[in-house]
Structure 1
Amino acid sequence: MLRGPTVRDIRGSSDAGKKYGYSQFCALFTDYLRTHDLVAVLRHEPGRAMLVDWAGDTMDVVDTITGEVVRAILFVAVLPYSGLMFCRAYADMKSPAWLDAHVQAFAFFGGVTQIVVPDNPTTSTHQTHKGDAERIVNARYQQLADHYQTAIVPARVKKPRDKAAAENAVNVVNKRVIGYLEDDVFTTLGELNAAIEERVREINHDIRRADDTTRWERFDSEERELLAPLPDAGFEDVEWKELKAARNYHVTADTQRYSVPFALAGKLLRVRLTSSRVTVFDGHESICEHPRLTGRKGQYSTLPDHVPPQHRDIDELWSRRWFTDRARSVGPATVTVIEQILDSQAIEAQGYLSCQNILDGLGKNNRERLEAACQELVNRSAHPTYSTLKRSMAAIDSDAKKPRPMVPAASTRKRVSTVVFRDTMPDVYVRDASHYARDEEVK
């Protein structure tokens, strides 16, 4: 379909009013494009701009605990004059990741450009009113720009040629970083970023372009000195939230959990979040501070002092002390058996499952019988296993259910006995034989 300006140009020509055949019209239209659809060569000044964007493709990070696959998004920054590139993976494209990526990029380049040219993600700009063409820089993004003494100049919407260097850098990352590493398995963002760093180093230092220079050589010789110095103090994005401490004495911030003193459970607290720290306040008083957790969702940062006394042994689950303490509640023979099982393993932890099976499977509702079975094995110096204890408990149970022989009731009949006084032993009373005979009916 012809665009409006093209139709007007044809109508306004000296041949206006003439009718054209299809082939002639296409020839005229092609001739028009040859002289009007031209592309200007953008000439970049050294040290002036840093172009930033998110790569379209993602990479996988596999959680070793849950097996969950997390999609990592790659941030790309490029200095268009030299072509020097920076790349780093993040778990999401939210504001903390976006701002941290800029901090890391400035540190990588060793200086600050005059302007930063982002695309228009919601983390960089937003519309003043829905449907309005005017866009303004987000407050937190502007704070970063003020800290580094640079300006945010977003690219025009739907004008990819304004940021052609960024588009090219993203394509390079897709092919030479993501494509190269896509068959590797990464279990943490740290592992992934280490691999990305090595690939980007090769792109910057080893690959020569049409002018027979590498990106690093051109940056080092012509652009490095034109960057503004980094500020003395590092930038930290600060976000405040009001969060209620749960019954497990943790507050949840961005899907991660941080402990507070257990006495504050159920209370509304103020939480300050930076890219590296999480600080909890009760009113204006700082209560505690944690390193900020990243990566897998639902992680816990728990300080020992925050745990109530009745919960402090929970961290020792599946340990020698935990199993022997549980066995002690059954009895001393059970403690001996549990210790024998743990001592018999080349690696102590290999006996944990057997201990768990014995204490939970056999002793949950049969503590007395388990203790008796353990005592029997200890007496016989037998090697304790789940099976031998189970058989021993079954035998004890079987014996307990056997009918016992009847004991006749004591006779109510009186026994007749005679005491005979013997002259030879004047001080001794001797019962006669009738006392030891069977009872006879008294007639």
Structure 2
Amino acid sequence: MADYSAIMALVLERRSYSEIVQMLGCSRREISLVSKTVKARGITAALAASLSRDELAELFPDGRKNVSAGFVQPDFAGVVKSMKFNRHYTLQQAWHRYVQAPAGQDKKKYGYTQFCQLFNDYAAVHEVVATLHHEPARTMLVDWAGDTLPLVDAVTGEVAKAYLFVAVLPYSGMVFCKAFTDMKQEAWNSAHVQAFETYGGVTPIVVPDNAATATNRHSKGDSTRVVNPKYQQLADHYGTAIVPAGPNRPRHKAAAESAVNVVNKRVIGYLSEEVWMTLAELNTAIDERVDEINEQIKRVDGSTRAGQFTTEEAQLLQPLPADRFESVEWKQLKAGRNYHVTADYQHYSVPYKLTGQILKVRLTGVKITVFDGESVACEHPRKHGRKGQYSTLAEHVPKQHQNIDGLWSPKWFLDRARPFGPATVAVITAILERAKIPAQAFLDCQNILSGLGKNNRQRLEATCQQILNQNGYPTYTTLKRLTASMNSDSKQAPPPVPAPPNTKKPAASPDLDEHIDVYVRGADYYQEGW
């Protein structure tokens, strides 16, 4: 509604319509109405200043009230209730219900546009979102960032995804971010541990969403959720409570959503176009970006996240426990003939004398410990990322393998091929040389020597000689097919035989001279174009 008191004062000052519109933002129609009323009533500047709100309302009645009285008023309270009960309920559905409902005599219905505008006015008054006032050092909100970063394996060239875990202390806005190769329970728990250690303390409450690594249902169809047992172990260790946000209630962890948005723009947005070979390299770059978010970006009041955290929040955090939390998993694994045990598709060496034995293995997020009975046989840092990685300790290697330049190298495979024969050495050399990166050929070489040559070296040597005679393209698949066609373990591939000459001696005949040669057409004669 226009401010008629202000318009009247400017009209009495004899300001032009253009000046009044520019100053008050009102319409020329409203200025004209005020001007006519001033002239008709003989209103002076002194009288205009003394008019009350009710007197102004009598001079300039609001015609909209009379107009709205002729329309059926929507039940916006019912619309809001339906939206809360059914998240798929839309304003268009509400308008259709409103239009189809019976109307009173001489009553009209609002169009869809006006209906939406009236609903927005209602929501602005009745559905105001409350502002949460967070207490310092009370809550840590956690979530996975929606976007990922690519990780390129330096050996295979395979591209994997790095998932970013985000934590935030909502009072100061202090952000924590780390990348992991998956979003499984081990990564989820490890991310919390690193976040607590980065903040230097623990909050009494941790608020995650309802991911499977945080909560689960007792049974299918049960609406109630309970904290995941492994996640609860972490909470018990650090003396914190897990309070998941309500399902489909992003407002319950609005600070986490805001932090994820900041990470998407300030971390992923800056790093996504670069090539990252290792997770450690990527996390170093992420740390630099997060430091800029916390320490350099100033807010409206001139403070930074790190500054407010240090002065008002850090000292209020609960202290860290004496021991770091480690989720432990136990397995019984057999040491293979290559004196390695395999856990989660990664290979770890054991003393070669334990080959063939069943060993007890303890796995944590950062370490793998192998037990021989009750004593510790060895320990390895835990491998993550690309499957099939090897962790081999020099003291575990038998003497016959110690005089080579490292296991799984071109020289190592060539040394293993020599006892088979020269043809096998030539095939292994060809496979190694055609690979852009020698390590890309290691698996084929291993399969050929340990797989095809496991039961009979003569057969593999004969197969390699055959493919060399044919100038073939040696691969594990080709050699496997040729080996299967061998009908005897002792069969040897014949040595290369030169092509027969184009002339031959005819049988003895009294009519022919013994020294006359008979010429035979060679293969070239039958080539196209002759």
Give TM-score scaled by structure 1 length: 0.67
Query: Within 5 A, what are the aligned runs for 1:16-165?
Result: 18=104, 20-23=108-111, 25-26=115-116, 28-165=118-255
Instruction: Report deviation, 1:267.
Output: 3.8
Counterpart of 2:160, as a letter, is V
Rounded to whole Å, the distance in 1 between the matches of 2:108 and 2:232 is: 56
Rounded to whole Å, the distance in 1 between the matches of 2:350 and 2:389 is: 15
| Aligned with 2:257 (options 143, 146, 167) | 167
Q: Say which is worse superposed, 242-251 or 270-279, in terms of deviation.
A: 242-251
Tell me the residue number matched to 2:335.
Answer: 245
Rounded to whole Å, the distance in 1 between the matches of 2:314 and 2:304 is: 14
**Unpaired runs of at least 5, structure 1:** 331-363, 366-397, 399-443
Rounded to whole Å, the distance in 2 between the matches of 1:42 and 1:319 is: 63
**Unpaired runs of at least 5, structure 2:** 1-74, 83-93, 422-463, 466-497, 499-530
Cα root mean square deviation, aligned:
3.5
Shift in CA distance, 232/20, structure 1 to aligned 2, threshold 3 Å:
farther
Tell me the residue number matched to 1:431.
Answer: none
Tell me the residue number matched to 2:293.
Answer: 203
Tell me the residue number matched to 2:506.
Answer: none
Shift in CA distance, 4/64, structure 1 to aligned 2, threshold 3 Å:
same
> Which SS does the other structure have where 2:163 is aligned?
strand
Rounded to whole Å, the distance in 2 between the matches of 1:322 and 1:240 is: 34
Q: Identity percentage over the alignment? A: 58
In the alignment, structure 1 residue 231 sits paired with structure 2 residue 304: no
1:24-53 superposed Cα distances (whole Å, 9 cap, x missing partner): 644543443232222010110000001011
Rounded to whole Å, the distance in 1 between the matches of 2:292 and 2:238 is: 28
Tell me the residue number matched to 2:79.
Answer: 6
Conserved 8 A contact 2:370-2:376:
yes
> Which SS does the other structure have where 1:60 is aligned?
strand
Shift in CA distance, 198/7, structure 1 to aligned 2, threshold 3 Å:
closer
Q: Say which is worse superposed, 277-286 or 184-193, in terms of deviation.
A: 277-286
Conserved 8 A contact 2:365-2:382:
yes
Tell me the residue number matched to 1:303.
Answer: 393
Query: Within 5 A, what are the aligned runs for 1:385-404?
Result: none
Instruction: Report deviation, 1:321.
Output: 10
Counterpart of 1:234, as a letter, is R
| Aligned with 2:344 (options 246, 251, 254) | 254
In the alignment, structure 1 residue 181 sits paired with structure 2 residue 271: yes
Shift in CA distance, 32/109, structure 1 to aligned 2, threshold 3 Å:
same
Shift in CA distance, 311/160, structure 1 to aligned 2, threshold 3 Å:
same
Higher relative contact order (CA 8 A, sep 6+): 1
1:346-384 superposed Cα distances (whole Å, 9 cap, x missing partner): xxxxxxxxxxxxxxxxxx98xxxxxxxxxxxxxxxxxxx
Q: Say which is worse superposed, 314-323 or 237-246, in terms of deviation.
A: 314-323
Instruction: Report deviation, 1:286.
Output: 3.1
Counterpart of 2:329, as a letter, is E
Shift in CA distance, 316/72, structure 1 to aligned 2, threshold 3 Å:
closer
Counterpart of 1:148, as a letter, is Y
Tell me the residue number matched to 1:213.
Answer: 303
Conserved 8 A contact 2:76-2:122:
no
In the alignment, structure 1 residue 290 sits paired with structure 2 residue 380: yes
Counterpart of 2:391, as a letter, is S
Instruction: Report deviation, 1:120.
Output: 1.5
Instruction: Report deviation, 1:183.
Output: 1.6
Counterpart of 2:144, as a letter, is W
Q: Say which is worse superposed, 71-80 or 208-217, in terms of deviation.
A: 208-217
State how many pairs are aligned: 333
Shift in CA distance, 20/252, structure 1 to aligned 2, threshold 3 Å:
farther
1:75-116 superposed Cα distances (whole Å, 9 cap, x missing partner): 101000000101111111111111111111111111111111
Instruction: Report deviation, 1:219.
Output: 0.8
Rounded to whole Å, the distance in 2 between the matches of 1:186 and 1:103 is: 24
Rounded to whole Å, the distance in 1 between the matches of 2:77 and 2:146 is: 33
Rounded to whole Å, the distance in 2 between the matches of 1:282 and 1:125 is: 37
Give TM-score scaled by structure 2 length: 0.57
1:92-146 superposed Cα distances (whole Å, 9 cap, x missing partner): 1111111111111111111111111111211111111112111111111111111
Tell me the residue number matched to 2:528.
Answer: none
Instruction: Report deviation, 1:228.
Output: 0.9
1:384-406 superposed Cα distances (whole Å, 9 cap, x missing partner): xxxxxxxxxxxxxx9xxxxxxxx
> Which SS does the other structure have where 1:81 is aligned?
coil
Instruction: Report deviation, 1:281.
Output: 2.7
> Which SS does the other structure have where 1:235 is aligned?
coil
Shift in CA distance, 323/263, structure 1 to aligned 2, threshold 3 Å:
closer
Counterpart of 1:118, as a letter, is P
> Which SS does the other structure have where 1:55 is aligned?
strand
> Which SS does the other structure have where 2:231 is aligned?
helix
List 4+ stretches of structure 1 deviating above 6 A.
7-11, 319-330
